[in-house]
Amino acid sequence: GAVVSQHPSRVICKSGTSVKIECRSLDFQATTMFWYRQFPKKSLMLMATSNEGSKATYEQGVEKDKFLINHASLTLSTLTVTSAHPEDSSFYICSAQDSLVASYEQYFGPGTRLTVT
């Protein structure tokens, strides 16, 4: 099946610094990718829709200037958490669909655990 990777899998950063998380579709093209955030024992919360070659669409309540999304190619989307604070510590997950296949299945990455100290 299709594979989505994320890098890094874990990251610890100091408060006030920025962290970039990469999401890659390894064997398929994805014009659209999605970014989710998940707090411990909670459900996934959709943060934004990442569109290749255009601006991302953010969900209500998600600060676009804090969570910068770039989707520069059909296989890569990045999420940059700017000026991170301890409350940004969470599990970040991306997902994608194969743009060339009429499929309903979304493929999720393994997630990135961010800890801000």
Partner 1 sequence: LAKTTQPISMDSYEGQEVNITCSHNNIATNDYITWYQQFPSQGPRFIIQGYKTKVTNEVASLFIPADRKSSTLSLPRVSLSDTAVYYCLVGDGNTGFQKLVFGTGTRLLVSP
Which of 27, 8, 6 lies closest to 74, judged by CA? 27
Of 67 and 107, which CB lies nearer to partner 1 in the complex structure? 107
Token pair of 3, please? 């594979």
Residue numbers at the binding site for partner 1 (CB under 8 A): 4, 32, 34, 36, 43-46, 49, 91, 93-95, 97, 104-111, 113
Of 28 and 107, which CB lies nearer to partner 1 in the complex structure? 107
Torsion over CA: 53, 73, 31, 38 (sign): negative
How many residues would you count in the chain? 117
Q: Three-state SS for 88?
A: helix
Minimum distance from residue 48 beta carbon to partner 1 (Å) = 11
Minimum distance from residue 24 beta carbon to partner 1 (Å) = 13
Of 15 and 110, which CB lies nearer to partner 1 in the complex structure? 110
Minimum distance from residue 83 beta carbon to partner 1 (Å) = 26
